[in-house]
Amino acid sequence: MTDALLTAALAARANAFAPFSHFQVGAALEDGEGRIHTGCNVENATYGLTVCAERVAVFKAISEGVRQFRRIAVAADTDALTPPCGACRQILWEFCGDIEILLVNPRGKTETYRLKELFPKPFDVSYL
């Protein structure tokens, strides 16, 4: 695997805290300057307070002052590659716009989408 973003997402997956579902996910978000911000899913016993890897990566980058993003990679150990959930798609749309979404598993299978393909009619500030 030669893409640093995919490699970073797979590495971030190793940090996932998933003692209940055992579903480990890693994300790596590339900002406008090419820096990579990673995240992993962090579960909670109530499940409702669990935070997905994509949102962790976005919130980490935002908290560091980053406002421009190019693409995000999402890594999970599934044969059918795992896209961002609905909540993550909403956060990605609001903070990143129509970015490139790369999906990967540990066996090197990849797929690439634009967020608009996965989230064709997003709700955003234009409706307020």
How many angstroms from the chain centroid is the CA of residue 58? 8
Residue 43 and residue 27 in contact, taking contact as beta carbons nearer than 8 Å? no
- From CA 68, how far away is CA 96, in angstroms rounded? 7
**Catalytic hit among 54, 94, 100, 117:** 54
Q: Is 54 a catalytic residue?
A: yes
Q: Which of 101, 39, 33, 27 is nearest to 66 (CA)?
A: 33
- From CA 128, how far away is CA 97, in angstroms rounded? 17
User: Which residues belong to the active site?
Assistant: 54
